Amino acid sequence: MITTVTVCLLLSLSASSYAGKAETEQMVKTVCAPCHGVDGFSLVLAYPNLAGQQKKYMIEQLKAFRSGARQSPKLMNPVAEKLSDAEIKDLAKYFSKLSPCKDACAATANTTTKN
């Protein structure tokens, strides 16, 4: 009985393919951070900040990039094409939970007023 329950638990965990926090952070660091920053503040002024953005909005945008309904052929389309639904959810959750106003607020304000 205990074994059956354990097997069911393991199966349902892998079936939902929840990537897990560590895996999500790893993906952010290696895939998203070069453009959007690990703290959700983009390194290029022309790229959008994601820190504190609405989770639901980001899920919709990532799915739109994945399907091609939203076009960003050189940047976001090739990234989103590789994401599963579960990864999209986890990544949107990660960025939505970041503070939209850390030290970076001051830095962003300074850079934008300079331009």
**Residues at the interface with ligand HEC (CB under 6 A):** 31-32, 34-36, 47-48, 50, 58, 61-62, 72, 75-76, 79, 91
- CB closer to ligand HEC, 6 vs 23: 23
Nearer to ligand HEC, 8 or 43 (CB): 43
| Nearest distance from C-beta of residue 65 to ligand HEC, angstroms | 7
In three-state secondary structure terms, 110 is helix
Residue 94: how many other CB atoms lie within 10 Å: 20
CB 27 within 8 A of CB 93: no
Which of helix, strand or coil describes residue 76? Answer: helix
Find the shortest distance in angstroms from Cβ 96 to ligand HEC. 10
In 10 A of CB 105, how many CB atoms? Answer: 14
Instruction: Write down how long the chain is.
Output: 115
Q: Which is nearer to ligand HEC, 76 or 98 (CB)?
A: 76
Q: How far is the CB of 42 from ligand HEC (least distance, A)?
A: 8
